[in-house]
Amino acid sequence: MCTIGPASAGRTRELVGAGLDVARVNFSHGTPATRAEAAAAVRAAAAEAGRPVAVLADLAGPKIRLGDLTGGATLLEPGRPFTLRISSARAPGDATGAHVSYRRLAADVRRGDRILLADGAVELRVVDVDRDVTTEIVRGGLIRNRAGVAIPADRLSSPALTAKDRADVPRALAMGADFAAQSFVRRPGDVAELRQRLGPGGPPIVAKIETRPAVDAFDAILDVADAVMIARGDLGVELPYEEVPLVQKQLVRRALDRGVPSVVATQMLESMISSPRPTRAEASDVANAVFDGADAIMLSGETAIGAFPVPAAEAAVRIVRLCEERGEGLLPRGAPPPVETDVGALAYAAVALAAADPAVEGIACYTRTGRTARLLAALRPGVPVFAFSPQAAVVRQLQIVHGVVARTCVPPEDVASRLGLMAWLLGEARLATPGAAIVLVASTAAPGSGPNLLEVHRVPEGRA
């Protein structure tokens, strides 16, 4: 997953060529026009490349930000006062203070509270609360325009969906977003509120886990979200930094056990904002996300504002590909069935059958909603899941799911034509080698009832 921003807005084709599967459009920045243009560019690049690429609309949420700064940035020095201005006009800030976007900040903080700026790069301590908030700089550093302002999430009295979010939901729907990411989720009810706003048939929701309350309520959030994102930037501000790796591994594993796709995000290849190569530690970080069982990794500033957006995407792809090709023994395999139903049991049987026969090169399924493909992928088979769907939106949404190769197809009339269609498509799309075995997963029942049939298919010799 790559964030589309000023550095990559004109290079979408190159990102798709590098391996982009999901394009993130950040609603915290830009204008409705520039965000719509970014989504349209992704659609055009995907069509030109002849492969599906999803668009994720990332709603801003109750993120608190500083205003603009004189010269675009300023250096804060320890021991100096710094005022977070709420009541004053939005004049550019400087080393003595800056406007803050959250009007209730003075009501939500107390003397002695810690406030962090720019993902924790700068630490402030509240010394006085009046109409504005006066702080002392505890740890200095460089801050830029619209730097994030972090206070403990359980103190925030703002709603989960801000007025900006409510205005942006129709814009996300109008651009045809395949996913809606919800920032600063704190409880399951937050996700339910967004789903109501999106309406029937709205895009799946990716709940961003970046607050302590969200970590505490994670299992309940898994009940209502379609996917989760471990957003380590703000999460690393809410939690002690040494806890973040453990929390990441625990949450990814719990999501995998429940069959809910997970994304690991923030500072994956941070140094590539200004460097053409990642550090060894960053390469290990991306690899560990793969070995944890994450479905996707996401690049943020690396592709949005960095000097090397395409090399950053290429580097991420190289690391992930190598880990998956040569990481046997480190990758999660045969995870517990995510659903204790007949459908879950059949998915487990398909994965077990594929594991038992070295000639099997994939598991193929026909799916209207993507559910069957997600069930199979959650079991982490050692072969790809080839998913065929008549719904183009479903095919795009499956791009976030690990190990799934999704293609559109015409809707077959019955189970026999369904099996025949999958067999024909496997050959036409050149997804398997001649003579290879493929496990076909299908249904003899009415549409929507789930699969109940397995069949082993051999790709005819002479077809590639």
pLDDT tens per residue, range 21-43: 999 999 998 999 999 999 999 99
> Which structure tokens are listed for 314?
């290429």
Contact criterion met (CB below 8 Å) for 231 and 210: yes
Number of Cα atoms under 13 Å in the Cβ half of residue 89: 1
> Which structure tokens are listed for 451?
């699969």
Which strand ranges, in their side-by-side order, compose the sheet holding 148-150? 64-65, 148-150, 114-117, 122-129, 133-139, 81-85, 97-99
Contact criterion met (CB below 8 Å) for 316 and 268: yes
% the chain with pLDDT above 70? 96
Q: Which residue has the tokens 């729907």?
A: 173
Contact criterion met (CB below 8 Å) for 361 and 433: yes
How does pLDDT run across 110-137, given as a tens digit for each residue?
Answer: 999 999 998 888 999 999 999 999 999 9
CATH of 64-155, one of 3.30.565.10, 1.10.3760.10, 2.130.10.10, 2.40.33.10: 2.40.33.10
Contact criterion met (CB below 8 Å) for 192 and 180: no
How many other C-beta atoms are found inside a 10 Å radius of the C-beta of residue 67? Answer: 17
Using alpha carbons only, give the angle 210, 260, 389 rounded to the nearest 5 degrees: 130
| Regions in the chain scoring below 50 on pLDDT | 463-464
For residue 419, what pLDDT is reported? 76
3-state secondary structure (DSSP) of residue 135: strand
Task: Give the residue among 320, 401, 324, 322 at the shortest CA–CA distance from 365.
Answer: 401
CA distance 139 to 137: 6
> Which structure tokens are listed for 346?
């059949």
In 157-272, which ranges are E strands? Answer: 179-182, 205-209, 227-231, 262-265
CA distance 447 to 451: 9
For residue 338, what pLDDT is reported? 58
For residue 421, what pLDDT is reported? 78
CA distance 23 to 43: 10
- Rounded to 5 degrees, what are φ and ψ at 81? -80, 150
Alpha helices, H only, 113-187: 163-174
Q: What is the architecture, at CATH level 2, of domain 342-458?
A: 3-Layer(aba) Sandwich (3.40)
For residue 464, what pLDDT is reported? 42
3-state secondary structure (DSSP) of residue 299: strand
Point out the catalytic residue in the list 3, 11, 24, 162: 24
Point out the catalytic residue in the list 51, 65, 164, 166: 65
Is residue 208 flagged as an active site residue?
A: yes
For residue 269, what pLDDT is reported? 98
List % helix, strand, coil for the chain (3-state, nearest 5).
Answer: 40, 25, 40
CA distance 286 to 111: 39
DSSP letter (8 states) at residue 93? B
Point out the catalytic residue in the list 266, 303, 367, 372: 266
How does pLDDT run across 191-227, given as a tens digit for each residue?
Answer: 999 999 999 999 999 999 999 999 999 999 999 999 9
- Residue-range domain boundaries for the chain: 2-62+160-326, 64-155, 342-458
CA distance 335 to 345: 12
Alpha helices, H only, 21-104: 32-49
Point out the catalytic residue in the list 63, 85, 186, 208: 208
In angstroms, how far apart are the furthest CA atoms of the chain?
A: 79
- Rounded to 5 degrees, what are φ and ψ at 59? -70, 145
CA distance 221 to 55: 22
Residues with Cβ within 8 Å of residue 319, at least 6 apart in sequence: 278, 283, 286, 287, 290
Domain spanning 2-62+160-326, CATH class: alpha beta
Cα dihedral 451, 457, 462, 464 in deg (nearest 10): 40
Contact criterion met (CB below 8 Å) for 459 and 426: yes
3-state secondary structure (DSSP) of residue 250: helix
Using alpha carbons only, give the angle 320, 375, 352 rounded to the nearest 5 degrees: 85
Contact criterion met (CB below 8 Å) for 146 and 179: no
Is residue 114 flagged as an active site residue?
A: no
In 292-344, which ranges are E strands? Answer: 296-298
Size of the chain in residues:
464
For residue 151, what pLDDT is reported? 86
